[in-house]
Amino acid sequence: MALRADAQPIQVVAVERHSPGRAALRRFVRHRLAVVGMVLLTIIVLLAVFADVVSSRPFFTDVKAVSQPPSAEHLLGTDRSGRDVWARVVHGARTSLVVGLGAVAIYVVIGTVLGGIAGVRGGRTDFAIMRAVDTLMSIPTLLLVIVFVAAIGPSLFSVVAVIGLLGWPGACRLVRGQMLSLRESEYIMAARVVGVSMPGILFRHLLPNIMSSLAVLATFGVASAIILEAGLSFLGLGVKVPVPSWGEMINAAQSPTVLIDTPWLWIAPGIAIALTVLSVNFIGDGLRDALDPRAVRRR
Amino acid sequence: MATYILRRILIAFPVLLGITIASFVALSLAPGDPLTARMDPTVLAQLQRNPQLLQERRHELGLDQPVPVRYVIWLSGALQGDLGYSIQSHRPIAEEIAKRIPPTLALMSVAILIAVLVGIPLGILAALRPYSKADYGMTTVTLALSSVPTFVLGLAAIYIFAVWLDVLPSGGMQTLGRPNSILDFASHLFLPAMVLGLASAAPLLRYTRASMLEALNGEYVVAARAKGLTPNTVVVRHAFRNSLIPIITVLGLLLPELVAGAVITEQIFAWPGMGQLAVRAASDRDPALMMGVVLIIGTAVLITNILVDITYARADPRIHLGAAS
């Protein structure tokens, strides 16, 4: 709609000016599923942080109350060693969040550094890094992680380290691609002509431009890292037994008696994983729509 | 075309070498002595009183050599089809692996078939009515489906179909004591293939939808419609044909995920395939078995990658594989 020259002033006032950040925030808040995800995740994070307040003693084994169904005393029942399932689910959230955030933080840094080097240096360095990326990407991450966990032994630390050290190719490819296209852009050329130093260009112009794509990638990365940790712990190759982990709790359900007779043992952590991952994915979806100004608006 | 395939195969070798070297080095860093770890403590005590004997055994197995030498020994064995022996079962690894390839191939190919047959048609439907209730519902369901880990999905499926409704077997590949029948095999395959297939159908649906939406906006689609072609012809022969390339790319990218999903699905449904073997190798700390599994799965993934590239050229005549990139 063309703006008429004799448009009333009030209409002009109505056109607010938005900084890109404010505009992105508005788009995010309008994304209904993203807001749902944000609320859910906030609750989960709060439960994880105050796990000791909202539940008690995830390690305490009550031999007199083994495999109890949900009751007033034990909200989600007890497991085969008489441990409170609710307490273990809430404390398991800590494990999942630590793995998700820790591993992704590690690989986003590695990926950004390597992708930046590949994009800026080009030539042989670029070729070598990209072949490593191709190799890592063509092999199932779970298999690689299993190999490395088998080598260094399963523990919370090794799960974070292994996912962090093997997960970087996606971030690396993204940063390199952006670097390559941004390098040729006119405002970078302008910055160079004015005489801005290379690190200056990198930190003031290139990185801020990549941040939004990187944030989206990292959000989805957290979701898949949480699933990966749960899968590893489910296979008995992840977090070691006394540490509560959702995957490890579900591991018990591989025995038919647990699966059939005490379903609360695996349904509760199963729902916990699904809700956490779902809310992170919703947020990622919202972020992608909000941060990409070219994205087509939904409705 | 032929030269391109040849070049791709030649490039695949260094990649495979890289994967096996990295795995070998990682596994050799594992704490513990592969020789003494699996020994009966009484035998070990006897041997330790006689270090000479222990040293001889070590030398026999090549364990006193540095890692690079040991890798070369492993590689030359592998090239001749000798992958060594499993520490746990004491059986030749090549034999163990060969036994497990057919079940995994059956599971994965049926799962891919399900993913394609569910994901692509529904993706097209969603793209034909974008932002409709059906589209919105499918988006939500696929997001939910990709948020539930395979093993939770699998356990829920077992609980519903094998325990509650009691219509399908909960695991294994055949009913014990019953003659091999194709129907029995199919009933065992149904649940794991369904779980694995639906898990991959979700992302496939989303990419098909996005790719189709883009194709449907193309001017050639408008032209085809203006020409008076039936809606079906426009969608199938014009729009879908053009959105095939990104869909094939995604199928290729989903393959590693599918392998990972198979590892977990096989574990839940006691499906005697490669994935189960990989988990056993890891929990038994069996490096030789692990190397065998890595070699076979790595080779399989690289071969399928090449196949995906060839499919590109078949799907889109504009792509010339022979040309230097």
- DSSP assignment of A27-38 equals HHHH-HHHHHHH
Q: For position A99, what pLDDT does the model report?
A: 93
Cross-chain Cβ contact A143/B260 below 8 Å = yes
Strand partners, A78: A84
Q: What is the distance in angstroms between the CA of the first residue and the CA of the last residue of chain B? A: 13
Helices B2-28, B287-315: inter-axial angle, 10-degree rounding = 160
Cross-chain Cβ contact A259/B163 below 8 Å = yes
In terms of pLDDT, which residue wins out, A299 or B140?
B140
Residue B318: CB atoms within 10 A of its CB come to: 8
Please, which residues 184-243 of chain A have a Cβ atom closer than 8 Å to chain B? 223, 227, 230-231, 234-237
Strand partners, B85: B92
| Nearest chain B residue to A133, by CA | B15
Q: Which of A251, A223, A227 is nearest to A88 (CA)?
A: A251
What does the pLDDT look like over A255-267, one tens digit per residue? Answer: 777 777 888 888 8
Q: Would you say residue B263 has pLDDT above 70?
A: yes
Task: Point out the least confidently predicted range of A117-131, A217-231, B61-75, B252-266.
Answer: B61-75
Q: Which two structure tokens, joined as six digits, stand for B199?
A: 């898990």
Cross-chain Cβ contact A143/B263 below 8 Å = yes
What does the pLDDT look like over B195-231, one tens digit per residue? Answer: 999 999 998 998 899 889 888 888 888 898 899 888 8
What does the pLDDT look like over B282-307, one tens digit per residue? Answer: 888 788 888 899 899 888 888 888 88
In chain A, what residues touch B148 (CB-CB under 8 Å)? 270, 273-274, 277
Quote the ipTM score. 0.81
Q: Which of B322, B305, B278 is nearest to B23 (CA)?
A: B278
Residue A204: CB atoms within 10 A of its CB come to: 12
Q: Which H helix or E strand runs over B99? A: helix B93-128
| Nearest chain A residue to B276, by CA | A235
In B148-181, which residue ranges form alpha helices assigned H by DSSP?
150-157
CA–CA min distance B27, chain A (Å)? 5
Cβ pairs bridging A and B (under 8 Å) = 137
Cross-chain Cβ contact B148/A273 below 8 Å = yes
In chain B, what residues touch A99 (CB-CB under 8 Å)? none
* Average pLDDT along chain B: 84
Residue B321: CB atoms within 10 A of its CB come to: 16
Answer whether 0.90 is exceeded by the pTM. Answer: no
In chain B, what residues touch A277 (CB-CB under 8 Å)? 147-149
Distance CA(A63)–CA(A68), nearest Å, equals: 11
What long-range pairs does A46-49 form, CB within 8 A, spacing at least 24?
A: A47/A90, A47/A93, A48/A90, A48/A91, A48/A93, A48/A94, A48/A97
In chain A, what residues touch B277 (CB-CB under 8 Å)? none
Find how far residue A217's CA is from the centre of its chain. Answer: 8
Distance CA(B110)–CA(A286), nearest Å, equals: 34
In chain B, what residues touch A236 (CB-CB under 8 Å)? 279, 283
Cross-chain Cβ contact A137/B256 below 8 Å = yes
In chain B, what residues touch A141 (CB-CB under 8 Å)? 256, 260
Distance CA(B64)–CA(B72), nearest Å, equals: 14
Contact status, residue B16 vs residue B302, Cβ threshold 8 Å: yes
Of B15, B27, B293, nearest to A151 by CB-CB distance is B27
Spatial neighbors of A230 by CB under 8 A, at least 6 apart, are A96, A238, A245, A246, A247, A250, A273, B149, B151
Residue B134: CB atoms within 10 A of its CB come to: 14
Of A33, A147, A256, nearest to B290 by CB-CB distance is A147
| B16, B21, B148, B151: best to mutate for the A interface, most A CBs within 10 A | B151
CA–CA min distance B37, chain A (Å)? 14
Q: For position A271, what pLDDT does the model report?
A: 92
| Residue A52 Cα distances to A43, A47, A60, A94, B27, angstroms | 15, 9, 13, 11, 38
Q: Per-residue DSSP letters for A96-115? A: HHHHHHHHHHHHHHHHHHHH
Contact status, residue B79 vs residue B292, Cβ threshold 8 Å: no
CA–CA min distance B246, chain A (Å)? 17
Strand partners, B156: none
Q: For position B282, what pLDDT does the model report?
A: 84
Q: For position A14, what pLDDT does the model report?
A: 47
Q: Would you say residue B324 has pLDDT above 60?
A: no
Of A139, A231, A250, nearest to B298 by CB-CB distance is A139
Q: How confident is the model at residue B266 (pLDDT cuts 50, 70, 90)?
A: very high
Q: Which residue has the tokens 């408008």?
A: B222
Distance CA(B22)–CA(A13), nearest Å, equals: 63
Within an 8 Å CB–CB cutoff, is residue A255 touching chain B? no
What does the pLDDT look like over A195-239, one tens digit per residue? Answer: 888 778 878 888 888 888 899 999 999 999 999 999 999 988 888
Q: Would you say residue A296 has pLDDT above 50?
A: no
Max Cα-Cα span within chain B: 91
| Nearest chain B residue to A227, by CA | B149
Type of residue at B260? A
Within an 8 Å CB–CB cutoff, is residue A130 touching chain B? no
Where on the phi/psi map is residue A67: left (φ > 0), alpha (ψ -120 to 50), or beta?
Answer: left
Within an 8 Å CB–CB cutoff, is residue A148 touching chain B? yes
Distance CA(B236)–CA(B251), nearest Å, equals: 19
Q: Which two structure tokens, joined as six digits, stand for B230?
A: 């039936």
Q: Which residue has the tokens 């690289």?
A: B302
Q: How confident is the model at residue A33 (pLDDT cuts 50, 70, 90)?
A: confident
| A44, A130, A134, A139: best to mutate for the B interface, most B CBs within 10 A | A139
Cross-chain Cβ contact B297/A143 below 8 Å = yes
In chain B, what residues touch A32 (CB-CB under 8 Å)? none
Q: How confident is the model at residue B39 (pLDDT cuts 50, 70, 90)?
A: low
Cross-chain Cβ contact A231/B264 below 8 Å = yes
Spatial neighbors of A242 by CB under 8 A, at least 6 apart, are A59
Please, which residues 268-297 of chain A have a Cβ atom closer than 8 Å to chain B? 270, 273-274, 277-278, 281-282, 285
